[in-house]
Structure 1
Amino acid sequence: MSLIWATRGRAWGFRFLLTGGFSDPLPEYEAAFADAGDAPETCHRAGGRVALRIADPLGRKDQSGRVIPHEFVVWGPQAAEIHSAADGLALVWPQVAEEFERVWETPRPPL
């Protein structure tokens, strides 16, 4: 799957955990989320990409008490299957859940 994933951990700030193969995923991320708004959950189609924002499914919070958001940019065949935040949760979250469980409480972000 073609995927960019940005989130934060309990003690570390917003980071890209998956880059979709880009050496710098920020321009792709910014373009996809440019008109997505700032709602806690969103599914916004931008060209052939989907900007997806979901709250952490387990309600995990950072050390300041904020619910952890997960933001994804999805493209390719799977993007055509995502029409809502619920679709994204069902299709994308299972692909990253185990990795987030592994890293979210680490004191530093993964490299």
Structure 2
Amino acid sequence: MYSLGSQATRAKMEEVKEVTGSSNFGAGTTLGTGKFHQTQSSVIQNGTQSASRAAQQSAENMNPESLGSSRFQQSNRQAQSVGGQVTYELMQQVKDAYATSHPVENLGRNVDIAA
């Protein structure tokens, strides 16, 4: 029974050693050189670089000189302009149709002039 427990402990310590680079947490010169620590370090480094690039890109995008110069923003402004023109033309058609169906003499009929 005792030997089975020690074998299991030894196997677990070997597994820990493979992952962390050392079976003694915090002891020895191999600390931080295992696969786990190298992966953790590269993830942190990549995350830091990504955040730095994102911050730099945001700063460039907020530059007043280049603000609104991207293709998306240009096409968006163009679409808004066209939409505004279409809306204006439709409103003119509605006004014309209303004016045709409601002659001028009908205007103000519902207004109580005595008030």
TM-score by length of 1: 0.21
Mark the structure with the bigger radius of gyration.
Answer: 2
Larger relative strand fraction: 1
Normalised by the size of structure 2, how large is the TM-score? 0.20
